[in-house]
Structure 1
Amino acid sequence: MKKNLLISVIISSLFIVALPAKAVESRCGWLLVPTPGNRYLIDKDGTWTIGAQGGYQAKGIENIPHSDGKEVVRTNGNYGYTCACLNVTVNTNSRRISEIRGGESLPLSTCREDPNLPKSP
């Protein structure tokens, strides 16, 4: 009995260790904040949800870099879009960013000149 329990514990431990941690990726593109609570990133792979007003919000949303005023396009009062690279984990099935670890703001020209992105969101 003790031997079977020990083997079960060892096997369970191996499975826990073998599970890969979600890899942090750098994703760069248009960072949209069209209205309060809504945030998206459009990169070469499409649109990723960061947050939806009254609903889903990625962990670490406070780690989104702030862009200075001249590198933000205002489309709705204080809301709009900018260009950024975010260090994130993602859920590819739901097209959501799961966690934001950090990032950096980029000049708008970086996204405008990237052939893998739309010229503007």
Structure 2
Amino acid sequence: MRRVGLVLGVAMLVLGGALPAEAKPERRCGWLVNPTPANWWLRDRDGEWVLSVQGRDPVAGMDEVPDMSTRGWVETNGHYGYGCACLTLETAPGQRVVRVLAAEALPLSRCRADRALPPPG
């Protein structure tokens, strides 16, 4: 019985150590969208990266996202809306965001000039 516990403990350590290895940091730039409370995503040339959905816990590191109104912000619903940003994200397969490592607000003109980006809304 003691051996089974040891084997399970080692298996949990091995599997637990493997999970962070699948996540990888990536710098992604595009439209940072916050249309309503607690809903945030980044739309870049590769698609949509969900950061927060109302009613669920946001991804770790959302406190790294700066006040977007400092470099341009388009209000579409009260003070909710979208801006242009680059985020360094730890991602996993399936366009899943694991953690926000860093974020930088950019001028709206940067995203508007990028023809590879889909519309922000």
The two structures have a TM-score, normalised by structure 1, of: 0.77
Aligned to 2:45: 44
Structure index of larger Rg: 1
Question: Structure 1 counterpart of 2:30, which letter?
Answer: G
How far does the alpha carbon of each residue in 1:83-118 deviate from its partner, in whole angstroms, 9 at most, with x for none? 00001112332x332100112100001001001102
Question: Structure 2 counterpart of 1:116, which letter?
Answer: A
Q: CA RMSD in A?
A: 2.3
Gaps of 5+ in 2: 1-6
Q: Counterpart of 1:68 in 2: which secondary structure?
A: helix
> Percent identity between the aligned chains?
38
For 2:25 and 2:120, the matched residues in 1 are separated by 26
For 1:101 and 1:120, the matched residues in 2 are separated by 22
Runs of 4+ in 1 over 3 A off after TM superposition: 18-21
Q: How many residues align?
A: 108
Shift of 1:72: 0.3
For residues 68 and 83 of structure 1, do their structure 2 counterparts lie closer, same or farther at Cα, with a shift above 3 Å needed?
A: same
The two structures have a TM-score, normalised by structure 2, of: 0.77
Aligned to 1:31: 32
